[in-house]
Homo-oligomer: A and B are copies of this chain.
């Protein structure tokens, strides 16, 4: 549970930046080299590599170097784990609304009986 929480900290921290979200979005349509990924941003390579490092340590992407080219790919399962957190929150409040609905129905029933 502690690991899950630490992992969520890292994932949400990684996603709190528009460049990093764009990289995730780009990798959704297939693996790409660091050079291809950096192109749209007009950032210096060192700055861009910092973003890649944050994404890698959050577990959202993995990279592999073959020859002189480092290629990145998305790790869907860790993105899905973060999405699960939202699903859990939704369940809590939907459950609450259902309980309120049931309560209202019960109260209405009691009203019409009296």
Chain A interface residues toward B at CB < 8 A:
5, 8-10, 12-13, 15-18, 21, 24-25, 28-30, 74, 76, 79-80, 82-83, 85-86, 88-90, 92-93, 96
Taking CB atoms, residues of chain B closer than 8 Å to A10 are 16
Taking CB atoms, residues of chain B closer than 8 Å to A76 are 93
Q: Is the CB of A79 within 8 A of B89?
A: yes
Question: Closest residue of chain B to A9, judged by CB?
Answer: B16
What are 13 inter-chain pairs, A to B, with CB distance below 8 A? A8-B15, A8-B16, A9-B16, A12-B15, A12-B16, A15-B85, A16-B16, A21-B85, A25-B89, A28-B93, A29-B92, A79-B89, A83-B83
Are A24 and B89 also in contact (CB < 8 A) when A12-B16, A30-B96 are?
yes
The number of times this chain is found in the oligomer is: 2
Q: Is the CB of B29 within 8 A of A8?
A: no
Give the distance to chain B from A104, nearest Cβ to Cβ, in Å: 15
Give the distance to chain B from A88, nearest Cβ to Cβ, in Å: 8
Taking CB atoms, residues of chain B closer than 8 Å to A21 are 5, 8, 85
Q: A25-B89, A28-B92, A86-B86 are in contact. List 18 more A-B contacts (CB 8 A).
A: A5-B18, A8-B15, A8-B18, A8-B21, A12-B13, A12-B16, A13-B13, A15-B85, A21-B85, A24-B89, A25-B92, A28-B96, A29-B96, A30-B96, A79-B86, A80-B90, A83-B83, A83-B90
